[in-house]
Amino acid sequence: MKVTFFSTKPYDRDFFDRFNRSFGFELEYFETHLGPHIVNAVDGATAICAFVNDKLNAEVLRVLAGKGVRYIALRSAGFNNVDLDAAKKHGFRICRVPAYSPEAVAEHALAMIQTLNRKTHKAYNRVREHNFALNGLMGFNIHGKTIGIMGTGNIGRAFARIMRGFGCTLIAYDVQESEELKAFGVQYLPLNEVFAQSDVLSLHVPLLESTRHMVNADTLKHMKPGVMIINTSRGGLIDSPAVLEGLRSKHIGYLGIDVYEQEDKLFFRDLSHTIIDDDTIQLLMSFPNVLVTGHQAFFTAEALEEIAVTTLQNLSRLQQGLEPENPAAIVV
Ligand code: NAD
């Protein structure tokens, strides 16, 4: 079976080539993201393998169906980039990697919290210039603070397990409560209460119509002055202009984002010789209390191995007319 990949980087190829030895698929790699501009290049593939910023809209799916593609393997957990109605209409089977090392993302959320808090990025630059002064580097103890977890699925639960070790108060909001978290003292509260009580708010819900812009001008009003907001989930959870305003007014004390609503034009590429035509991200990056990383929370060796193996297993089972071993891997 031929599988055509989009949005691939050298590290994707390394991992997929290595683990494909035991599957024997024909793998074709495109570096560009999938969209109407490239979809006609698909030739002879039964499956497509796509990543977070590939656009699987109705137009792209129609062309793929016409070319005989039957399976779409998302090498991500999120599937907000797929038009599910169009996918069902064309009879695609779509699989994903529901939980590839949730710890990778949860640990990155913690890295963002502690970088913003203890300013290690600034200390690193200072001491290289032999500036050992501490002015401006003061942080706060995580111990005793209230951490709000929005979404307690695989990643939110991994994050809760980590934060538990700091001795903080853990509160959470999810449409489905986790017995595991309740057993070690996580308190589920209504959405606005989590906003109101959190010193640090970490977003781990998927991007859905019900969660889009959950951090907006209205919800910001409920939050504590000085709140730290961490988003390692999807950019669309945050209304960026409202957050910019919150930073300007100092209502938001710190912002850490690994994802950005307009990231598809920026992330996963080297734009160091280009003028960035996005005033919002430029402004965000100009704040000393904002940390932006380029969708790297998942990026550990363990996670890349898990992504490659699960994606190839999913495709192998679909090809044999079987369901993926993990039912959560099926999108449609
Ligand atoms: P998951 O499906 O295990 O958990 C999502 C949780 O959100 C579930 O418990 C669900 O009940 C809850 N939820 C759904 N709708 C909700 C709503 N309206 N309000 C409150 N809670 C709601 O997903 P996960 O593996 O924990 O991943 C979470 C998200 O993290 C993914 O959707 C993806 O967007 C993002 N992610 C980011 C990276 C990265 O590199 N930055 C990597 C992997 C995943």
Q: In the beta sheet, which residues pair with residue 230?
A: 202, 256
pTM: 0.93
| DSSP reduced 3-state for 165 | coil
Q: What are phi and psi of 28, to 5 degrees?
A: -120, 130
Distance CA 319, CA 225 (A): 53
For residue 157, the ligand 1 atom closest to its alpha carbon is 26
Residue 61 Cα, ligand 1 centroid: separation in angstroms? 24
* Residue 99: per-residue pLDDT: 86
Q: Tokens 């109101």 label which residue?
A: 196
Select from 235, 197, 237, 194 the least CA-distant residue to 214.
237
Residue 330's pLDDT band, with cuts at 50, 70 and 90, is very high
Among 107, 177, 181, 205, name the best residue to mutate to test ligand 1's pocket (greatest count of ligand atoms within 8 A of Cβ): 205
CB-ligand 1 contact for 156 (6 Å cutoff): yes
Average pLDDT, the chain: 97
Over residues 26-72, the pLDDT tens digits come to 999 999 999 999 999 999 999 999 999 999 999 999 999 999 999 99
Residue 315's pLDDT band, with cuts at 50, 70 and 90, is very high
For residue 153, the ligand 1 atom closest to its alpha carbon is 4
Residue 205 Cα, ligand 1 centroid: separation in angstroms? 4
Cβ within 8 Å of residue 94, ≥6 positions away? 71, 72, 73, 74, 79, 82, 87, 330, 331, 332
Q: What are phi and psi of 256, to 5 degrees?
A: -120, 120
Residue 145 and residue 169 in contact, taking contact as beta carbons nearer than 8 Å: yes
Over residues 204-242, the pLDDT tens digits come to 999 999 999 999 999 999 999 999 999 999 999 999 999
* Residue 78: per-residue pLDDT: 87
Among protein residues, the one with the nearest Cα to ligand 1's atom 42 is 298
Average pLDDT over every residue of 79-93: 96
Average pLDDT over every residue of 106-118: 98
CB-ligand 1 contact for 324 (6 Å cutoff): no
Residue 112: what residue type? M
